[in-house]
């Protein structure tokens, strides 16, 4: 990144931090802090961490004087957060965190990725509150400023959970390790949960299978692990009967039936394919390593994201539905700035659609910050100056 571009970004971030209120997590003296700065190697990440502060005014003064590109704090609580090694810090517990990142869900235009990851966040919130019993008032949502959302659960009951307990929770959320025998064998009065999601996915898959030409249907069934031609033909012959049972009384399916058991077990081992996709669509696709990590660093709400220039924005569950990151997380204005764009690009921002060609052109300051943070553009001429 050119020096003029670095200076432009640093000035814009400094302007924001100089006038906007900042937020802090609870228990500041027990949190580790970390920052990435606008150094000559930016946007390569060189993190300065193992920092501790006693008060929020100390944190805010540090951010306003140092103007970091990225600001993080630990989800963990430590006796000595500023100690140089993790062992010396003495872990005291950690908030429960879920990270939903559009990169792990789909690839495509940025605005579509943001829309898709919001859907997953809604699913996660429903699971946490309606199925797992976490109080909504103990849950915070934060737009990461980049490609997704962080969901923080502050319930004291989970603070001392280790990685194994958190693994069980994220496995539930993501639908990992489902046992079809258990899910099909038992009725449940609840209209929610993986019992119903699994049966709905299986029913949809079998209807899809029924609609295939016979040759394709048999090929799909014999493609399952442990399923041979004879089993596939018998399953295909009985497919209508099985669909009827699943739609009326799934618990009446006999998983000791060798044909049925082989096919359903074969479906459950698939990582890809039609059925795996149907199950995946019913899960909340959170990032598993983040939830199991009891010493994670997370972005500071109200800080700016050095990869976009967007505000890391805290939200309530009720605010999520109407939240538009490409409007509501944008903090810079429409002053024109000339940039050199490295490639053609189209995207919406601040309620307008931009269709940009490669090369030098003027764009609103908010878009210039975004493009420079992403490494898609450099500042032209003297536009690194702050506005008058």
Q: With contact defined as beta carbons under 8 Å apart, do 235 and 259 qualify?
A: yes
Identify the active-site residue in 44, 287, 293, 328.
287
Helix (H, G, I), strand (E, B) or coil at 70: strand
Helix (H, G, I), strand (E, B) or coil at 170: helix
Identify the active-site residue in 95, 99, 155, 340.
99
Instruction: Clarify whether 171 is annotated catalytic.
Output: no
The 10 Å Cβ neighbour count of residue 261 is 17
Distance CA 388, CA 8 (A): 14
Distance CA 204, CA 281 (A): 12
Instruction: Clarify whether 99 is annotated catalytic.
Output: yes
| The Cα angle at residue 350 between residues 348 and 351, in degrees rounded to 5 | 65
DSSP string, 257-290: SHHHHHHHHHHHH-SSSHHHHHHHHHS----HHH
Return phi, psi of residue 333, to 5°: -100, -150
Identify the active-site residue in 95, 101, 103, 140.
101
DSSP string, 50-64: EE--SSHHHHHHHHH
Q: With contact defined as beta carbons under 8 Å apart, do 97 and 124 qualify?
A: no
Q: How far is CA 155 from the centre of its chain?
A: 20
Instruction: Clarify whether 293 is annotated catalytic.
Output: no
Return phi, psi of residue 148, to 5°: -175, -155
Which residues are designated catalytic? 99, 101, 287
């Amino acid at each position: 990144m050119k020096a003029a571009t670095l200076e432009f970004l640093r000035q814009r971030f400094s302007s924001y931090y100089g006038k906007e209120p900042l937020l802090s997590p609870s228990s500041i003296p027990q949190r580790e802090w970390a920052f990435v700065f606008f150094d000559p190697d930016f946007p390569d990440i060189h993190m300065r961490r193992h920092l501790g502060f006693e008060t929020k005014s100390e944190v805010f003064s540090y951010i306003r004087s140092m103007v970091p590109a990225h600001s993080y704090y630990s989800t963990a609580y430590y006796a000595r957060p500023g100690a140089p090694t993790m062992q010396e810090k003495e872990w005291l517990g950690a908030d429960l965190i879920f990270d939903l990142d559009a990169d792990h869900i789909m690839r495509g235009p940025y605005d579509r990725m943001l829309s898709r990851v919001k859907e997953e966040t809604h699913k996660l919130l429903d699971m946490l509150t309606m199925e797992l019993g976490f109080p909504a008032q103990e849950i915070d949502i934060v737009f990461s400023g980049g490609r997704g959302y962080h969901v923080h659960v502050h319930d004291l009951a989970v603070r001392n959970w280790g990685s194994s307990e958190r693994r069980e929770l994220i496995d539930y959320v993501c639908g990992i390790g489902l046992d079809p025998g258990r899910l099909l064998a038992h009725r449940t009065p609840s209209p929610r949960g993986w019992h119903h999601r699994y049966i709905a996915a299986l029913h949809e898959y079998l209807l899809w299978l029924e609609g295939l030409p016979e040759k394709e249907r048999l090929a799909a069934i014999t493609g399952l692990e442990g399923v041979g031609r004879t089993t596939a033909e018998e399953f295909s012959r009985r497919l209508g009967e099985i669909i009827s049972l699943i739609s009326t009384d799934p618990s009446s399916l006999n998983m000791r039936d060798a044909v049925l058991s082989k096919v359903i077990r074969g479906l459950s081992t698939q990582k890809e394919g039609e059925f795996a996709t149907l199950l995946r669509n019913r899960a909340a696709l959170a990032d598993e390593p983040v939830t199991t990590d009891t010493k994670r660093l997370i972005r500071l709400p109200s800080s700016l994201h050095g990869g976009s220039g967007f505000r890391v924005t805290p939200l309530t569950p009720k605010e999520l539905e109407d939240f538009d990151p490409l409007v509501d997380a944008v903090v810079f204005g429409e002053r024109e700035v000339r940039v050199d764009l490295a490639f053609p690009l189209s995207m919406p921002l601040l309620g307008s659609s931009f269709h940009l060609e490669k090369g030098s052109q003027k764009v609103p300051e908010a878009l210039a910050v975004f493009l420079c943070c992403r490494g898609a553009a450099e500042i032209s001429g003297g536009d690194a100056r702050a506005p008058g």
